Each structure stands twice: as structure tokens, then as C-alpha cells.
Amino acid sequence: MPDDALRRLLQGNAHFVADRSFSDESTQRRIAVATAQAPFATIFGCVDSRVSPELIFDQGIGDLFVIRTAGQVLDRAVLGSLEFGVAELGIRLLMVLGHTRCGAVKAAMDVLEQHGAAPAEI
């Protein structure tokens, strides 16, 4: 099952890259997911508005359980959300999605540099 979920994400990303998106955003789909959710994967990613998991993996409403924080920072709320996806929704695949030139990571590195600390020292 995790292999199938990963395959779906990779195929969806290939659609996105090729500019051939097929995700279902129809009224029928919205009605179908209105009463319950059954996402097939959790994506833990950055809050950057240019990196939307549903778009870059060509998935529709209800397909992904998306958790976003600046720089993929893990705290109790995020951990609880990840656990909820596994325990309550039965999600078998968790993807941590990073991206290049992350402003949150750069800001954190700048603060460390200003205080004379290297990341390995933290």
C-alpha cells in the first residue's frame, strides 16, 4: 500500500511537470468527500505558497492529508496531526516535502550566523 501511494504521487508529479494535470475538482468529488475523508498519503511540507502539494502531485480534494509549517518544523501539534493521519485515517505513507531556497530555513541560518553558532553546534 505505501508503494502504491508513492507511485500515485510520482505519477501525479510527472503530470504536473509535463503540464498535463488530471485531478478531479468536480462537484461530484466535493460531494463524495463532504462526509468523510480517506487520503492516501500525508505530505508534511513548508508553508511556502509556491509549493502546493495538491498541485505538484496532481491530486484532488480529499486525496492528500497536508500538514504545513515554516521550514517543516516539527512540534507537538504537527506530531499529533501526523499521528492522527496514521491512527484515525489509516494513512500508510508520509512524505516530508522540502524545497530549494526556503526562506524559513535561510532565516534560521541567518539567526544562527548572527549569534556565531554553526548548525552542527545546535
Q: What is the C-alpha separation between 103 and 100, in angstroms, rounded?
A: 9
Give dist(CA 121, CA 76) in Å, integer.
Answer: 24
What is the per-residue pLDDT for 49?
Answer: 85
Amino acid at 62: G
Spatial distance between the Cα atoms of 85 and 93, rounded to a whole number of angstroms:
10
Within 8 A by CB and 6+ apart from 58, the residues are 11, 12, 13, 15, 16, 21, 22, 23
* pTM for the structure as a whole: 0.82
pLDDT in tens, the chain (122 residues): 789 999 999 999 999 999 998 888 899 999 999 999 999 999 999 888 888 999 999 999 999 999 999 888 889 999 999 999 999 999 999 999 987 777 777 787 788 788 777 665 54
